[in-house]
Structures are given as structure tokens and as C-alpha cells.
């Protein structure tokens, strides 16, 4: 049976440590968890079973592996030290028999987007960014339709547009929208994305290094490595749709409390074909996962054991290829969720009514 492994790490330190070590999670203060994460080895969390392709009937198995670094640790430690821990997790995956390794959350962001890790391991590696980009665009389009926003007549902002996923979603959205605002930390990199977006059919493109520029946008897609809480309530336009792909999330929890006139959706979530059993609760309903995890499983279904979405510049050809393969094997956009809860029609109608007052 073809197999895979997927790496995760603590996003919310106390909550996530409690899921594996209930006693430690309760008694250890958060600063201590950050400190100890530097010394804890990679951990095999669970055996993943039950994923079955709808297109071929093939079943695969896999393993969830935890790199115990918190996000804060990854942002402050030297990249080489973080690499060593991720590579150690990859070696654990190899010993379990996995044929491809997926890099979840910040393990795909650190350094060179997975290239160093791929070069150090004997198994194939993917960041999962290609399918994350594709599914996030679908989620954004669906949310815009629900809010009756015509993308062709709207301003769409991409926050983190200079990153791998940001570049890809900007290009995928370009033929469908009226005006695009590309937001990032490095102007030089954004200028390169402008050329790509214009080549895809959106002539009206501007760049900004100021995230508050999103105030002008009806639709925002945010995918950064900022470490969380980048987008605050006062930054959002009344009636805006925001697709938050980042983990930790870019959109502050304060938005859910202070702004009942905007729609925030969790980006990149898909339903898994078959009777999936992850063997570990990492915060999603039992049949859902992230686009990056789904890409890893799709490559295992396909028997395509080669380095895929690695590096900082995703190929649109690969984005389209993995999208088609995932659809063939039965992955599909999950029902929209907002701040980890399923959206229902009544909430969307309330938001629309608030905007129309």
C-alpha cells in the first residue's frame, strides 16, 4: 500500500500540546512550552487510515508526525536549527515506510520553502502549497457569490502576495477581477508579481507595503507568515469577504467579536474521500483537512513520488495539475467555515442585512 507522512506543529501551544499530552498541556505555562519545544524530539502522533480514491478505489495509509517547535520558536531560531528538527521528522517518516512527506504550516515556510529539506531526505517532499492555492481561490469565489459580490467589478487584495501561495492565488484570480492590490513586505518582489498578474489579464494592479490598504478592498485573501493577528477589525471595509489561509491565522479573533458586518472564512479546507481516520484531533471535523495535507495524499493516490511544491515560486502548471488530480481522486471544497465553526445561511444573511442598512 502506498503511504505518506505529514508534519504538523503546535499553533496554539497550550491547546495543541494538551491534545497529545493532556497533563503537560494543563500544567505547563506557555513560555515553558516555547522553551521546551527546542529540545523535544519529533513525535509520531498517529497512523492515518481509510482514505480511498473515488476515481480509482485505491486506498492509502499514512502517519501524522509532530515537530514540537511552536510558531514563535520557528520565527526566532536560526533556520538551520529548524531544518535539523524537520529533517529528523523526515527521517522518522522514512523509517515508517512513507514514500512522500508533506510539510504542514510553518515547516513549509521556513527558509527556502522546503528545498533544503527535500535535498536532505530520500523520500519525496511537498509543501502542499499548490493545492492550497487552488482550493483557496475556490473558497474565495464561493464566499463572494454568497455575499453577492461581483469580482469583475471589485477590488481584490492579496496579503502576502510575494510568497509562494500569494503569487499563485494572485495569478489565478487575475482573469476574474476588476482591480487587484498586492500587499507584502518587499516592494521588489511585489513588482515581479505585478508583471505576472498583468500577463494573466488584470491590467489594473497596484502594490503596497501597508496592510491597512485592504480597507479599499471588497475581497481580501490573506496568506502570510506574519505569526498571527495581522488584520485588525478597523482595517476591514463594511461588507468585505476575507479568506484567511494562514495558520496561525492572519485575521485577529477580535474581528469575530467586533465586526458583524464582514464575512471571514477559513481558507484551504477540503473534504477527504473515503472513511478517513486521522487518529489524532488536530482541530478539524473528522472528514476535513487542509489543502496542503490533501496535496500530499493526492500525490500518494497518484503514485507520484517526486518533490512537488517546493521553493518560493510555484508553477501554475503544477497548481492546475494537482487541482485536477485531487478532483479525480475525490477531494472537494469543504463547506465554508469561519473561525473554526461551520457557516450557516442565516449568519450570511445577517451579515448582508447589516451591510444593507
Question: What percentage of the chain carries pLDDT values higher than 90?
Answer: 73
Domain boundaries, the chain: 3-130+270-333, 132-268+335-356
Please state which of the ranges 3-17, 54-68, 211-225, 236-250 shows the lowest mean pLDDT: 3-17
Residue 24 phi, psi dihedral angles, 5° rounding: -60, -40
Check the CA dihedral 169-234-70-16 and report its sign.
negative
Distance CA 145, CA 243 (A): 13
Domain made up of 132-268+335-356: CATH architecture:
3-Layer(aba) Sandwich (3.40)
158: left (phi over 0), alpha (psi -120 to 50) or beta: beta
Three-state DSSP at 65 gives strand
Beta bridge partners of 124: 100
Average pLDDT, the chain: 93
Beta strand 269-271 with 332-333 is antiparallel
pLDDT in tens, 193-203: 999 999 999 99
Distance CA 37, CA 225 (A): 19
What is the mean predicted confidence (pLDDT) over 227-244? 94
Residue 357's pLDDT is 66
pLDDT confidence bin for 46, thresholds 50/70/90? very high
> 69 is written with which cell numbers?
517547535
C-alpha distance across the termini of the chain, in Å: 57
Distance CA 180, CA 145 (A): 18
**Are the CB atoms for 264 and 336 separated by under 8 Å?**
no
Distance CA 49, CA 3 (A): 10
pLDDT in tens, 301-352: 999 999 999 998 899 999 999 999 999 999 999 999 998 888 888 888 988 8
Residue 301's pLDDT is 98
Stated as kind and residue range, the H or E segment containing 318 is helix 316-329
User: Would you give the DSSP letter of residue 254?
Assistant: H
Beta strand 43-52 with 59-66 is antiparallel
Residue 245's pLDDT is 94
Distance CA 125, CA 98 (A): 11
In this prediction the pTM is 0.94
pLDDT in tens, 124-159: 999 999 999 999 999 999 999 999 999 999 999 999
Q: Residue 40: is its pLDDT beyond 90?
A: no
Amino acid at each position: 500500500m502506498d503511504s505518506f507522512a505529514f508534519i504538523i506543529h503546535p499553533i496554539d501551544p497550550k491547546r495543541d500540546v494538551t491534545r497529545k499530552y493532556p497533563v503537560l498541556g494543563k500544567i505547563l505555562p506557555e513560555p515553558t512550552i516555547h522553551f521546551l519545544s527546542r529540545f523535544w524530539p519529533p513525535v509520531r502522533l498517529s497512523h492515518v487510515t481509510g482514505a480511498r480514491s473515488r476515481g480509482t478505489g485505491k486506498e492509502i495509509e499514512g502517519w501524522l508526525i509532530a515537530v514540537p517547535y511552536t510558531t514563535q520558536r520557528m520565527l526566532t531560531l536560526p533556520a538551520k536549527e529548524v531544518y535539523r528538527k524537520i529533517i529528523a521528522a523526515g527521517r522518522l517518516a522514512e523509517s515508517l515506510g512513507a514514500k512522500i512527506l508533506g510539510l504542514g504550516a510553518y515547516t513549509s515556510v521556513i527558509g527556502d520553502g522546503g528545498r533544503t529539506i527535500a535535498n536532505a531526505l530520500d523520500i519525496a517532499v511537498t509543501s502542499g502549497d499548490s493545492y492550497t492555492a487552488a482550493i483557496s481561490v475556490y473558497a474565495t469565489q464561493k464566499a463572494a457569490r454568497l455575499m453577492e459580490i461581483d469580482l469583475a467589478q471589485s477590488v481584490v487584495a492579496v496579503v502576502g502576495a510575494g510568497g509562494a501561495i500569494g503569487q499563485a492565488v494572485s495569478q489565478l484570480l487575475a482573469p476574474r477581477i476588476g482591480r487587484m492590490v498586492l500587499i507584502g513586505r518587499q516592494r521588489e518582489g511585489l513588482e515581479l508579481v505585478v508583471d505576472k498578474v498583468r500577463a494573466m489579464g488584470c491590467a489594473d494592479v497596484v502594490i503596497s507595503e501597508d496592510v491597512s490598504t485592504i480597507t479599499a478592498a471588497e475581497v481580501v485573501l490573506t496568506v502570510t507568515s506574519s505569526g498571527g493577528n495581522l488584520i485588525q477589525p478597523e482595517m476591514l471595509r463594511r461588507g468585505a469577504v476575507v479568506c484567511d489561509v494562514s495558520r496561525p491565522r492572519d485575521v485577529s479573533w477580535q474581528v469575530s467579536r467586533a465586526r458583524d458586518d464582514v464575512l471571514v472564512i477559513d481558507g484551504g479546507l477540503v473534504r477527504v474521500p473515503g472513511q478517513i481516520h486521522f487518529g489524532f484531533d488536530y482541530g478539524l471535523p473528522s472528514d476535513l483537512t487542509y489543502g496542503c495535507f490533501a496535496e500530499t495524499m493526492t500525490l500518494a493516490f497518484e503514485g507520484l513520488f517526486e518533490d512537488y511544491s517546493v521553493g518560493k515560486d510555484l508553477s501554475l502548471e503544477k497548481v492546475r495539475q494537482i487541482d485536477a488530480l485531487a478532483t479525480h481522486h475525490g477531494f472537494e471544497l469543504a463547506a465554508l467555515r469561519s473561525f473554526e465553526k461551520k457557516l450557516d445561511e442565516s449568519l450570511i444573511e445577517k451579515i448582508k442585512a447589516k451591510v444593507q442598512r
